C-alpha cells in the first residue's frame, strides 16, 4: 500500500507525534494513506490507540534503527 501523504515527526516527543498525526488524519479523506515517521518509543503504544479511536485502520508498523513507520488508512 503506497502512502498518499507523509508526516515526519522525528525529534518530537509525546504528545507532539500523536497530536500532529490526529490533525493530519482529520484533514485527510477516506481512502488516503498516511505514513507517519517517528522516533519516540511511546508512539508504538500511542499511535495504534489513536488510530483505533478515530476509526481508521493501522495497515503496517515497521521499526528500523530507532525509527518507527506507521502506515494508516483513513476510513
Domain spans of the chain, in order of start:
5-73
> How do residues 1-60 score in pLDDT, each as one tens digit?
799 999 999 999 999 999 999 999 999 999 999 999 999 999 999 999 999 999 999 999
Q: How far apart are CA 75 and CA 66, in angstroms?
A: 29
Q: What is the pTM of this model?
A: 0.95
Instruction: Please check whether residue 24 is in contact with residue 74, taking contact to mean a CB–CB distance below 8 angstroms.
Output: no
- pLDDT (mean) for 63-75: 97
Q: Is 14 a catalytic residue?
A: yes
Q: How far apart are CA 33 and CA 2, in angstroms?
A: 7
Class of domain 5-73: alpha beta
Residue 69's pLDDT is 98
Which residue among the candidates 1, 10, 14, 52 is catalytic per the annotation? 14
Q: Which residues of 25-53 are buried (b: 16+ CB within 10 A; e: fewer)?
A: beebeeebbbbbbbebeebeebbeebbee
Residue 1's pLDDT is 79
- Residue 65 binned pLDDT confidence (cut-offs 50, 70, 90): very high
Amino acid at each position: 500500500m503506497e502512502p498518499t501523504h507523509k508526516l515526519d515527526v522525528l525529534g518530537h516527543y509525546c504528545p507532539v507525534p500523536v497530536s500532529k498525526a490526529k490533525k493530519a488524519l482529520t484533514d485527510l479523506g477516506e481512502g488516503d494513506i498516511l505514513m507517519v515517521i517517528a522516533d519516540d518509543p511511546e508512539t508504538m503504544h500511542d499511535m495504534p490507540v489513536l488510530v483505533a479511536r478515530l476509526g481508521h485502520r493501522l495497515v503496517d508498523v515497521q521499526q528500523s534503527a530507532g525509527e518507527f513507520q506507521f502506515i494508516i488508512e483513513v476510513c
